[in-house]
Structure formats: C-alpha cells, structure tokens
Chain A
Amino acid sequence: MNSLFTPLSWNDTGFILTGVMNTVTISVLAIVLGTVLGLIVGFIRAESNKLVNMLFGGLLDVLRSVPLIIQLVLFSTFVGAAGIPLDPFVAGSIVLSLYTMAFMSEVFRSGFESVPVSMQTAARSLGMNHWQTIYHIRLPIGLRAVFPSWLGVALSVIKDSALVSVIGYMELLRTSEQLISRTQQPLEILIGVGIFYFIISYPLSSYGRYVERKMAI
C-alpha cells in the first residue's frame, strides 16, 4: 500500500517544492503586475475618448483572444530569434503579466465606469478637487464593485500559469511531467498536482463568493 501511494522518494520533495514555489512566484508576479498595469490602463480607458479607446481596445482584444500558449511560444521564439537571451522565467512573466493585464484592465474599467457621475458631482460640490474625487470616491467604490471579478481573473492566472511550462519554466506542471517520465506514475502525481491547485484556488474562490454575498445585501 505504502509503496503505491508514496511512489516518490523523499528526495523528490525539494524538487516538487521548487515547482510549487515557481508556480506561486510567477502567479503572484503576474497578478501583481497585471493588477497594477490593468489599473492604469483601465483608468485611462474609462477617462479617455473613443479614439484612444479603440486603439487600446484593439490591442487588448488581441491579448485576450489569442490563446496564452500561442502567445508564450511566439514571444519566446521571437525574442530568441532576435538574439535577446531571456530565461523562461522572465519571458513567461512578461507574457503572463500582459495577458493578465488585458483582463484586469477591463475589470477595472467597468469598475470605474460603475461609479455614478452624480456621486462624483456630489464630491466636487463638497470642494474636493478632481484627484481627490478619484482617490477617495471613484477608486474605492469602483474597486469594491469589481473585487469578485478581480478575484476570478486572479484565480484563472494561477491555473493558466501551468502553460508557462511549454517554454521551459520549471513550474509545478513541468516539474511533475519530469517526475512522471521518471517514475511512470502519472495518475498519482497528476492527482497530487490537481489537489495543489485546488487547495490554492478553493479558499480564494469561496472567499470571493463570501464577499460577493456580503456586498449584495
């Protein structure tokens, strides 16, 4: 029994943990960068005219519509061919962050646009200036409104980060693929990996549902 369910030796622990850490690292990095960039782009889009919006919108549409795996391969092939040595972590982080930004910017944009103009007028009538109104009224109200959507994007980034394995980054999936080819025990390992993703994602998504319920009242 024991040999069936613990097919890997304890020596593999470090290797697996590296995979776990790398998945967490690239996910957190992409979520943070994607959120910051998405906030900026989402704000610019909410504030600017049709023309600027169309240009931005087109670019973001491309990022959102082309499958991540293709963007990863294209990007690393392109920078490789251009003679710029980028290690898989850097290349993966750039692509995953931009991909995340494309989704986050839409989330934030709809958040900013959800704050009624009349509420901003009320703030101005109290003497708040343009930036005070943005910082104290529009930002906090808009961000609260889209928190559940933000969390949804963040969760899918954690899962999507598995795709960075195709360009050679040693995240959890690639780590497990290597173990599988050595141990020939795909089922146990993939179940373990699946459980890991579940353990990370489930508490976050239940927290999101909790917040959503709380805000709905």
Chain B
Amino acid sequence: MISIQNVHKSFGDLEVLKGVSLDVANGEVLSIIGGSGSGKSTLLYCINAIEAIHKGKIIVDDVDVHSKDTNKDKLRQKLGMVFQQWNSFPHLTVLENAALAPRIVKKMSKDEAIEIAKKELEHVGLGDKFDVYPTKMSGGQQQRLAIARALAMKPDYMLFDEVTSALDPELVGEVLDTLRLLADEGMTMICVTHEMGFARDVSDRVAYFHQGVIAEIGEAKQVITDPQNPLTQKFLSKVR
C-alpha cells in the first residue's frame, strides 16, 4: 500500500504540492488528472524519491520513503516508473534494455535476467523485437519497451506519468491496451493521464489535481461523468 500523508513540496519559492493526502491500496488503479503545472508529475517523482519532499510523509509498505535511513535504490526496485518520454537506452538492444537492471541491480545471472526480460517483452507484445535497437522502433513500441523494462524488475507498484502524451495519436491505443492488461492482471497502478476514457474505464478511482491539492477524488465513473467540484467540472468540460 502507498500512503501519502499531507505532503508539501516546493521548488524554490513555488509550492507545487500543498498538502496532498492519498492512500492507494494493493491492486487498485488510480488515475490522476488535472491541468498543466498542477503537480501531478511531481507527486509521482516524490513517491519514488526522485524528488525530496519538505513536509509530510510517504509510506510504501511500511517504509518511510523519505527517511534518511531508507535505501532509495532498493525502494525503487518495487516502484516501477514509466515517463512521458520513453527514454530507451539507445546503445542497447531491446532485450538488453530490459535485462540490464535485473542483471546489475538484482545481481541476477545473465541467463536469468534474459529469461525475465524475454518474458516481459512478450508480455507487452515485443516478442519479435529482441535484437532490434530501440531507436529503430516507433514511439509506441519504445513506450511498451519502457513498460517491459520496468516490469522486469518485478515491481509491486507501477507509476505512469502521461505515458501516451508524446505519442502520435495512432500509437496511443497500443500503449493504453498494455496498461489495461496490467490493470486486469491486478497490478497496483497510479496513472497520471490526459486520457479521460482510460481514466473512466480502467481505473478504480480518479483524483483531480488543482494547483497542488486534490480538489476531488472518488470512484472513477463518478468523477469523470458526474464531477461534484465546480473546478473538476470546468476542467472536464475543457478537455472534452
């Protein structure tokens, strides 16, 4: 379980998160929607300790993420993250991209790492691309590679930061299908997204972010189709 408790975060004078509290249960899929600059990405970065927080607490499975005594590298192994930019490692083949972290971080044998990497690549539909260099692939394929690469670490949680926003429209579907697959398999996921249909259909709950606070949170269908907060209503009427 991920428990976010009254988290505050600033960049210089700019307070980006102004007291965010949120619990995500195991097996749950939570989508975060909201305007540009509202702090959605920042929250994800705080959850896996890429960014520090200034106040509050984030607990992942009883581990205080931002405590000095926490081994952040170890913690990140159970928090997979995929970004808007797919960030394939261009010097490695698709298979090597997915096998690298299991091998060097989890210290698996080469064969073991390769086996897991192959399994996860097949999982996202890249079973025929093992020896290709990622730069030869489409954005959608590279994004699926990024998902497989994260899954190869066998994370308990997956954080997705607008993973379809940088894709050509015709490639969005294949990546959303992959996310849907993971959700069906019971993965615990936090998805920052601009895809309202995806948020409504795939997630259990939706949170609407507005200027660093959660303005509304609730059951997915309700928030998307029948928002209670005027701010949410305004936002949704604009994106649709």
Contacts and interface: CB of A to CB of B under 8 A. Distances in A.
Interface stretch (B13-21, B79-87, B204-212): B79-87
Contacts of A119: 87, 89
B50 A125 contact: yes
Given A119-B87, A141-B91, A126 B150 contact: yes
A168 interface: no
Interface string A126-139: 11110010001100
Contact of B105 (A127, A137, A140): A127
A60 to B, nearest CB: 28
B76 A126 contact: yes
- Looking at chain A's contact residues, the main secondary structure is helix
B48 A141 contact: no
Nearest to B79: A125
A151 B153 CA distance: 38
Interface residues on chain A, size class: 10 to 19
Contacts of A124: 50, 73, 76
A104 B26 CA distance: 51
B50 A121 contact: yes
B74 interface: yes
Given A118-B87, A144-B91, A136 B100 contact: yes
A80 interface: no
A116 interface: yes
Interface residues of B, number: 24
Contact of B73 (A127, A140, A141): A127
B80 to A, nearest CB: 8
A127 B74 contact: yes
A86 interface: no
Contacts of B100: 126, 136
Contact of A132 (B48, B105, B153): B105
Interface string A83-94: 000000000000
B101 interface: yes
Contacts of A127: 73-74, 76-77, 101, 105-106, 153
A122 interface: yes
A118 B83 contact: yes
Interface string B54-90: 0000000000000000000110110111010101011
10 contacts: A121-B87, A124-B50, A125-B79, A127-B73, A128-B73, A128-B104, A132-B104, A136-B100, A141-B91, A144-B91
Given A126-B76, A127-B76, 15 more contacts: A118-B87, A123-B89, A125-B48, A125-B50, A125-B80, A125-B81, A126-B77, A126-B105, A127-B77, A127-B101, A127-B105, A128-B101, A132-B104, A136-B100, A141-B91
In the complex, the 10 A-B pairs of residues with the closest C-beta atoms, listed nearest first: A122-B87, A126-B101, A127-B77, A125-B81, A127-B105, A127-B76, A119-B87, A129-B73, A140-B91, A127-B73
